[in-house]
Each structure stands twice: as structure tokens, then as C-alpha cells.
Amino acid sequence: MPPPPGCPETLRIPGTGFAPPLPAAPIKPPIPPFPTNFRQQAKNIEVQLPPLVAGALVAAFAKALADGLSNELLSHYYFPDRRIQVNLDRVLDRLISVFVRQLWDELFLFYHDPDHGGAGPQLSRQVGLLFDGPIRQLVLVLNGPETARCILDKLGPGLSKRPVTWSTNTKGIDLPLALQLLCGFWHREFADQSPGGNPDEIARALHTLITTGNAAKNLISEMRRVLLSPHFVQIHFAESAIWDIVLRRPGPPPSDGFHIVQFKYECQLFDPQGNLSDLSHLRLGSLPVVTGTSTEHNCTTVSEYTEKQWPKCGSIILGCIEEARKNATSSLLRGDDFSGMHVWDGSDGKGAHCPGLRFIHIEAEGSWIRMSVSAWMHTLIEVFQQMSWFCAALSTSPFQGSVAESTTDVSNWTYLDGNVYIDCSLNHSPILEGDGLPWLQYLPRTAIASGFPLHEGSSEALMTM
């Protein structure tokens, strides 16, 4: 997008008070659909390609991307027994959106930077028509909802929740031919807006830039990190669960955007029959935890992982849990039931750095944790992700003498008086003897929080396990 208005910084010549003239910089066309004025709005967001050409482009791009990933399948996302299925369309939409922005900048640099064979700082009419025409249509089509469906048809058959439209009858076309169809169509049908030249040569150049540039490399890398690895499964599951459950609630959404949701976790984090004096002085944030899988994991403390993964509201949530646990321990030491609670109210100004979080109420009772939250949707997703990781990481393996991989699942939900109530449970999978890294055998009854991103931690945490 063009830079915001204002005075750029200048380099003043010492002793003169004057600044040397700055070289003219090219004005990059705004990436669609971000118009610079209302007259350009329709042109910026309108797909002017026929469905056959647009469908061929999307299907060919999906095939090229799958080939770049060696056609590996998203095998970690098939859960036949889960009531909530992960919505990967939304995840792919975000990845493709970043890709097309990087591609737009990359193409602009190529066509304008003299070091890359470009025309220099002046925006030529031919290059302007190229960006207003074929390149703009390319970006609009790839950034549409059809792309995620086509990619999942290749890498995760049956996982997409979207219908097929454009790409129904366009399979079997490679990306070079699809780009030739795009450039040829624009050259014929929009002759007055065509950049000129040979459309086939333009298509070949675009194919080279699309498949070998940094934008493509970054997309492949992010796909491997975010989707082909098992370390984001629970992150994506929690996001899908909140969107699906909260949006199904009967009645209109809250006018201020703050939804009220209660999470209920069945998770035995502590042994009330153990050493109560040690338990009363225990800080949850200092506890070492393991995140990952039996073959690829790291060790951090609760505070370290929370601060890195959920920097906005993570410390608030952790503080509330610690206070509720502290109150529960005090009740138990007095001879009462193992129960305690804590309330956090963001309206007092303490939550200024997290405006999407308004209210938290936590109860700890026996093996149950109840948490009521008033927050925006995206903040609710982060809260649910953090609580799912927290309970999975601090739970104990139910298999005597064996370490287990732990995940959180939604067992039930209900709607009452405009609020949402979600019941959660933990699933443990034993790590068989001989599997995983050797040091796991020294962690009896420890659970590994599986399906969450890996973060580098201190070696001290590992030594204290």
C-alpha cells in the first residue's frame, strides 16, 4: 500500500540547514482489494476472468503447491470421533493472504528495480497496465475462497468445508498453461487495457517469479511449519471450536462484541493428599512443562511458554489460575474442601493492554476448573488455547510408569440465557517403551502437551524434571 501522508525524514547537510533532494521513488499500486479512492473500488475488487480461466488458475496453483510439498497429506487433522472438526479453510486463507501480499511486492520490485531488470523509478504505462490487468486478476483469484478448497483437495481430501465452484471442470491444467490463459484472455478481451507485448512471454515470466521467488518459498515453509507438522493441531482445533460453538448460539450476538463463555475442565493438576506445605508455596508459573510429541519436544516453564505464545492476555489468565489455586490450598489447609476462586475485572484499568478481555471468574474445586470469561471472539480463542495447553501440560499420565501425550477435547456444550457452557476433557495416549527420546523414561506419570507450537526453553527447566 502507499505510505501514509506526512513528511518523510530527510538527511540534512551539516552546517547548511538544507537537505539534499531525494530521488523520485516509484509509487506502488495498491494491492487489491484496498482502493485508493472510490472510483477505483470496483476495478480493484472485481474478478473479470471467466469461470473457466479463473478455475484453471486456482486448480493449477493448488497442484503446483502440492507438488512443492511433495504431496504430503495433512494426516494429523483426521479425527473421526471428534464432535468438532478443524476448519483448515480459515488457516489456509491466512497463509494465502500473506503469500499474495508478498508476491505483489515481489513483482513490483522486479518490474521497477533496475538491478532486477526493471524499468527504474518511473512507473511506465506498460507496467501500470500489467499491474492493473493480469497481475491484479491473478492476486484477486488466488486470494479468493476457492483456493483453500482446491489445496485441501490435494493435501487433505475431505477436510474442506467449502463447495467447489470455479475449479469443477478445470483439472489437469498446469500452472504455465493457466497463466497463458489468463494473459491471453486479457490481451484479447481488454485490448485497450492490455500491457502489450507477447502475452505468452508475460505468462512465462510470471510463472518463473511465482514459483521461484521468496513469496513461494515462504509459503512452502509456512505450510510445512503450520499444517504438515503436528505442533499446531490443538491451536487450530481450539480456534474452530470457539467459532463453531459460539456462533451457533441462538439469538443475536452481543451488541458490544463481548461474549460470555464458561469453560469446565476435568483435570487433576494436584494431589490434595500430598505434602500440603510444599503445595502452598508452589508457583504454577515456575513449574517445568513439556510441549510437543514423544519424538520432538522442548521443555520450558509455564510462565516462559505462556509469555511467548499468548503475550497479550496469557499472564492475566495464569495469574487468575494461581490465585484460585492458592485460595483452594488455603481452604484445604484449614480442613475445608479443596476449593477456591478468583475474580479479575478488566474495567478497573488493569486490562488496558488487553482490551478484548473484560472479565474472568475462576473456580478450582477438586479435579475441576471452571472458568467464566467475557471477551471478544479472538480473545476467547486465545483463552481457550491457553487453558487447553495449561491443563494438558500440567496433567498427569493415567498410565502407571509411562509418559503420555495429552490433548484437550470438547466433550459437550450447551446454551443458557444467552451464555455458552463448554465442557472439556483430556485425552492421553501412552508413549510405548522404546518410543521417543531416551530421557523420557525418567519422567514417570508426566504428560506432554501435544499439538502446540514448540518454543525454545532454558536447560534449567529440563534439569529440574
The model's pLDDT over 10-25, given as tens digits with 9 standing for 90+, comes to 333 334 344 444 445 5
Residue 202: pLDDT over 90: yes
Task: Examine the pLDDT at 354 and tell me if it is beyond 70.
Answer: yes
Say if 10 falls within a structural domain.
Answer: no
* Region of residue 401 (left: phi > 0; alpha: psi -120 to 50; beta: else): left
279 exposure class (CB count in 10 Å sphere: 0-12, 13-18, 19+): middle
1: which DSSP letter? -
Domain end (from 203, 228, 253): 228
Inform me whether the pLDDT recorded for 382 exceeds 80: yes
Q: What is the mean pLDDT of residues 284-300?
A: 90
Domain co-membership, 215 together with 308: no
- Scanning the structure block, which residue is given the C-alpha cell 474472568? 360
List of residues 6+ apart from 8 with CB closer than 8 A: 22
Q: Are 392 and 237 in contact (CB under 8 A)?
A: no
**CA gap 88, 197 in Å, rounded:** 40
Across the range 199-207, mean pLDDT stands at 96
The alpha-helical segments, DSSP class H, found in 263-343 are: 276-280, 302-309, 314-333
pTM: 0.84
Mean pLDDT to the nearest integer, 121-128: 77
Give the rounded distance of the alpha carbon of 141 from its chain centre.
22
CA proximity to 220, closest of 155, 289, 131:
155
> pLDDT class for 45, splitting at 50, 70, 90?
low
Query: Would you say residue 123 has pLDDT above 80?
Result: no
Is residue 271 predicted with pLDDT exceeding 50? no
Domain boundary residue among 202, 228, 254? 228
Pair (249, 211) in one structural domain? no
Determine the Cα–Cα distance for residues 208 and 103; give it in Å rounded to an integer. 12
In tens, the pLDDT along 306-335 reads 999 999 999 999 999 999 988 888 877 777
pLDDT computed for residue 334 by the predictor: 76
| Bridging pattern class, strands 339-345 and 288-292 | unpaired
Phi, psi torsion values for 183, nearest 5 degrees: -70, -40
pLDDT at 114: 59
C-alpha cell at 321: 489460575
Position 458 scores a pLDDT of 42
Cα 425 to Cα 412: distance, rounded to the nearest angstrom: 9
Phi and psi torsions of 163, nearest 5°: -80, 160
- Give tens-digit pLDDT for 58-109: 999 999 999 999 999 999 999 888 889 999 999 999 999 999 999 999 999 9
Residues of the domain holding 399 = 232-463
In this structure, are 264 and 304 located in the same domain?
Answer: yes
- Are 85 and 106 part of one and the same domain? yes
Say how far apart CA 331 and CA 325 lie, in whole Å: 10
Using pLDDT thresholds of 50, 70 and 90, give the confidence band for residue 41. Answer: low
Does 11 map to a domain? Answer: no
| 130, pLDDT greater than 50 | yes
Q: How many CB atoms lie within 10 A of CB 13?
A: 10
Average pLDDT over residues 14-38: 51
Give the count of domains, the chain. 2
Do 140 and 274 fall into the same domain? no
Is residue 176 situated within a structural domain?
yes
Q: Taking a C-beta distance cutoff of 8 angstroms, is the pair 203, 182 a contact? A: yes
pLDDT of residue 336: 74
With bands split at pLDDT 50, 70 and 90, how would you rate the model's confidence at 352? low
What mean pLDDT is reported for the chain?
83
pLDDT at position 117 is: 52
Please state, for a pLDDT cut of 90, what percent of the chain lies above it. 58
Query: Where residue 44 falls among pLDDT bands split at 50, 70, 90?
Result: low
3-class DSSP state of 454? coil
In a domain? residue 29: no
Please report the pLDDT score of residue 120 as a whole number. 53
DSSP reduced 3-state for 367:
coil
- CA gap 437, 443 in Å, rounded: 11
**Do both 400 and 305 map to the same domain?**
yes
Do 271 and 385 fall into the same domain?
yes
If you search the block for the grid coordinates 483452594, which residue do you land on? 328
- Domain closes at, from 228, 262, 296: 228
Q: What is the mean pLDDT of residues 345-372?
A: 83
What pLDDT is attached to residue 43? 56
Question: How far apart are alpha carbons 137 and 147 in whole angstroms?
Answer: 14
Kind of pairing between the strands at 259-266 and 368-375: antiparallel
The grid cell for 327 is: 485460595
pLDDT at 118: 55
Phi, psi of 217 (to 5 degrees): -65, -40
Residues 370 and 430 in one domain: yes
170-173 long-range contacts, CB within 8 A, separation 24+: 170/52, 170/55, 170/56, 170/58, 170/59, 170/60, 171/59, 173/56, 173/59, 173/60
- Specify whether the CB–CB gap between 324 and 370 falls below 8 A: no
Which residue, among 70, 74, 102, 100, has the nearest Cα to 87 in the 3D structure? Answer: 74
**Helix, strand, coil fractions of the chain, as percent rounded to 5:** 50, 15, 35
Give the helix/strand (H/E) hosting 372. Answer: strand 368-375
Q: Are residues 183 and 239 located together in one domain of the fold?
A: no
Using H for helix, E for strand and C for coil, what is the string for 105-155? HHHHHHHHCHHHCCCCCCCCHHHHHHHHHHHHHHHHHHCCCHHHHHHHHHH
Same domain, 279 and 347: yes
For 45, the enclosing helix (H) or strand (E) is helix 41-45
| DSSP for residue 443 | S
Task: Give the residue from 77, 390, 73, 413 showing the smallest Cα distance to 232.
Answer: 77
Same domain flag for 156 and 253: no
Q: Tell me, yes or no, whether 17 lies in a domain.
A: no
Express each pLDDT in 416-464 by its tens digit: 988 999 999 999 998 876 666 666 666 656 789 999 999 864 433 333 3
Whether 68 and 53 share a structural domain: yes
